[in-house]
């Protein structure tokens, strides 16, 4: 691989991992989403030529921010020459030129947290807060976000534009709120972090089940929030993500194929994450003011701590509590699986058929794949094939497609 190709590859990875940080700082400096996005993309374009001859700088993120800042000043001067609101533009240029160029890593980390709080401001429609944050902070594509929310990309693009316009028009401040303002912003913030983690832990589409950059980013953001506000649900969410992430190495084989929980090599599980997550669960439960994230983390902790035999009784009890806190057909489906493991496949299948009879989760691939697996274990091959085919029609993720195709091939060969 020649030097230019190597630089290009490293830049692509840098964009994937750190473009959110670059954009967040540029938005703070420029006060304008569109100008910041334009400046960021110009900086990445310039990096390819500059780094090819001068080498990659010691702090590439800071270099990109600084370069983006200078490009923004150039673009503003060009606008001034064309007479577009010259006095306002000159003021903006003066402020940018006065700003200290040397950004610490902490400045950059704080800017990303500021960006999240800005996108989750109460003045922004709750339906827009989470997609806006996923797009502007975490760099997910509009298509990925649309897939997660089960809407069309064009609908999602309109929502994101409305959110950015709201920030500009109402001049929402780019700040970390005071402690007394944090609780009203917390639900949306934790939802964002959890959605980012889910997209990294089980990507909604694409060639790979895992997007480690996103799951790691979500864990980092949760740690930042916990440092700001010691709250049981922040602890619960961080614990939940750590416990799930502890299994990452065991979830796929060398070819990227899915390995189910019951078949995973537990020696590959990350014990440090399990210990930290389990300790956080205990802390959160001890407050007696916990919610859905903490209960889900407690379920994950039971799985993580089981040695050979899973305590399905405890898991069912926790799912029952979770259903009271947050009624959801997906939680009902997960509880049905636990009941199937304790009481037999038919008991779980009866619950699943009841959910489908209500018209719920009919477009949810995991509902049909779970139903297919229970039917397979009951020896109902023809019905199992139909269920797995329904799941395959709905899934967009290649490893999941391969997994379902393997199941179908095995059943059809019987």
Lowest mean pLDDT among 102-111, 186-195, 202-211: 202-211
Burial of 299 (0-12, 13-18, 19+ CB in 10 A): buried
More confident residue, 349 or 6: 349
| High-pLDDT (> 70) share of the chain, % | 88
Average pLDDT, integer, range 297-325: 93
- CB contact set of 392 (below 8 Å; sequence gap of 6+): 365, 401, 404, 405, 408
Q: What is the largest CA-CA distance in the chain?
A: 78
CA distance 253 to 406: 14
Q: What is the pLDDT of residue 62?
A: 83
Q: Where in the chain is the domain with CATH 1.25.40.10?
A: 326-414
**pLDDT at position 193:** 87
pLDDT, position 207: 46
Residue 204 has pLDDT above 60, yes or no: no
Percent with pLDDT over 90 in the chain: 39
Q: How much is the average pLDDT of 32-54?
A: 83
Residues 6+ apart with CB under 8 A from 190: 225, 233, 234, 237, 293
pLDDT at 402: 92
Tens of pLDDT, residues 112-149: 778 888 888 888 888 888 888 888 877 778 887 887 77
Measure the CA–CA gap between 385 and 227, rounded to whole angstroms. 49
The sign of the torsion formed by the CA atoms of 63, 65, 66, 67 equals: positive
Rounded to whole angstroms, the Cα distance separating 88 from 96 reads: 13
**Statement: residue 206 has pLDDT above 70:** no
pLDDT of residue 79: 63
Question: Hey, which of 127-131, 206-210, 283-287 has the most confident mean pLDDT?
Answer: 283-287
Q: In the predicted model, is pLDDT for residue 352 greater than 90?
A: yes
Are the C-beta atoms of 304 and 264 separated by less than 8 Å?
A: no
Q: Of 35, 31, 42, 33, which Cα lies nearest the Cα of 95?
A: 31
Give the model's confidence band at 252: pLDDT under 50 very low, under 70 low, under 90 confident, else very high.
confident
User: Can you give the pTM of this predicted structure?
Assistant: 0.74
CA angle 118, 124, 128 (to 5 degrees): 100
Give me the pLDDT at residue 205, please.
45
Note the pLDDT tens digit of each residue in 88-111: 555 554 554 455 455 545 555 677
- Look at residue 176 in the predicted model and tell me its pLDDT: 76
- CA–CA dist 391, 374 (Å, integer): 14
Measured at the CA of 60, the angle between CA 59 and CA 65, to 5 degrees, comes to: 105
Q: What is the pLDDT of residue 144?
A: 79
Cα separation, 274 vs 52, whole angstroms: 42
Fold of 1-103: Rna Polymerase Sigma Factor; Chain: A (1.10.1740)
SS (H, E, C) 146-195: HHHHCCCHHHHHHHHHHHHHHHHHHCCCCCCCCHHHHHHHHHHHHHHHHH
pLDDT at site 197: 86
Query: Where does the pLDDT of residue 18 fall: very low under 50, low under 70, confident under 90, or very high at 90 and above?
Result: confident
| Confidence at residue 84, expressed as pLDDT on a 0 to 100 scale | 55
Task: Give the pLDDT score at 216.
Answer: 84
Would you list the DSSP string of 118-146? HHT-TTS-HHHHHHHHHHHTT---HHHHH
Residue bearing the bigger pLDDT, 37 or 321: 321
pLDDT at 379 over 70: yes
Mean pLDDT, residues 305-327: 92
pLDDT attached to residue 1: 53
pLDDT score, position 92: 53
pLDDT of residue 58: 82
The CA-atom distances, in angstroms, between 213 and each of 45, 216, 220, 259, 261 are 22, 5, 11, 21, 22
Where does the chain hold its CATH 1.10.1740 domain(s)? 1-103
pLDDT average, residue stretch 384-392: 97
The number of C-alpha atoms within 13 Å of 30 and in the hemisphere containing its C-beta is: 27
| The pLDDT of residue 173 is above 60 | yes
> pLDDT category, 180, cuts 50, 70, 90?
confident
Distance CA 232, CA 238 (A): 10
DSSP string, 39-105: HHHHHHHHHHHHHHHH---SSHHHHHHHHHHHHHHHHHHHHHHTTSSHHHHHHHHHHHHHS-----H
- DSSP state, residue 252: B
Measure the CA angle with vertex 370, ends 368 and 372; round to 5°: 65
**CATH architecture of the domain formed by 326-414:** Alpha Horseshoe (1.25)
Q: Are 368 and 390 in contact (CB under 8 A)?
A: yes
- Say yes or no to pLDDT of 177 above 90: no
Task: Tell me, rounded to whole angstroms, the distance of Cα 408 from its chain centroid.
Answer: 30
Average pLDDT value for residue range 386-412: 93
Q: Which residue has the higher pLDDT, 4 or 408?
A: 408
pLDDT score recorded for residue 16: 75
Question: pLDDT tens for residues 359-368?
Answer: 999 999 999 9
Q: Which of 3-7, 97-101, 299-303 has the highest mean pLDDT?
A: 299-303
C-alpha 183/C-alpha 93 separation (Å) is: 36
């Amino acid at each position: 691989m020649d030097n230019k190709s190597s630089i290009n590859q490293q830049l692509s990875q840098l964009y994937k991992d750190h473009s959110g940080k670059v954009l967040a700082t540029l938005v703070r400096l420029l006060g304008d989403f569109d100008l910041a996005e334009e400046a960021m993309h110009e900086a990445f374009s310039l990096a390819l030529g500059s780094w090819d001859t001068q080498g990659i700088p010691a702090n590439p993120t800071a270099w990109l921010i600084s370069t983006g800042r200078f490009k923004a000043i150039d673009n503003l001067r060009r606008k001034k020459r064309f007479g577009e609101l010259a006095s306002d533009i000159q003021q903006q240029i003066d402020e940018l030129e006065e700003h200290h160029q040397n950004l610490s890593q902490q400045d950059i980390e704080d800017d990303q947290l500021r960006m999240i709080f800005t996108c989750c401001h109460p003045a922004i429609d709750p339906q827009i807060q989470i997609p806006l944050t996923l797009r502007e902070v975490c760099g997910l594509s509009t298509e990925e976000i649309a897939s997660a929310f089960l809407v069309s990309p064009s609908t999602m693009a309109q929502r994101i534009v409305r959110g950015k316009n709201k920030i500009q028009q109402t001049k929402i401040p780019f700040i970390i709120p005071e402690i007394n303002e944090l609780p009203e912003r917390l639900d949306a913030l934790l939802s964002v972090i959890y959605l980012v983690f889910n997209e990294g832990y089980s990507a909604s589409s694409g060639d790979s089940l895992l997007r480690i950059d996103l799951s790691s980013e979500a864990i980092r953001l949760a740690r930042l929030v916990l440092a700001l506000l010691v709250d049981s649900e922040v602890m619960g969410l961080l614990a939940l993500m750590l416990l799930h992430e502890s299994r990452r190495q065991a979830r796929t084989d060398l070819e990227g194929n899915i390995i189910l929980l019951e078949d995973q090599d537990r020696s590959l599980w990350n014990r440090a994450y399990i210990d930290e997550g389990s300790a956080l669960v205990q802390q959160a439960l001890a407050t007696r003011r916990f919610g859905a994230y903490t209960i889900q983390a407690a379920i994950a902790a039971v799985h993580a701590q089981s040695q050979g035999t899973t305590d399905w009784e405890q898991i069912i009890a926790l799912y029952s509590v979770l259903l009271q806190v947050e009624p959801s057909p997906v939680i009902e489906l997960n509880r049905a699986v636990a009941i199937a493991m304790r009481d037999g496949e038919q008991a779980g299948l009866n619950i699943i058929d009841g959910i489908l009879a209500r018209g719920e989760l009919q477009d949810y691939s995991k509902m049909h794949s779970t139903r297919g697996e229970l039917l397979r274990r009951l020896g109902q091959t023809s019905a199992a094939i139909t269920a797995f085919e329904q799941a395959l029609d709905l899934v967009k993720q290649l490893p999941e497609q391969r997994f379902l195709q393997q199941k179908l091939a095995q059943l059809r060969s019987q």
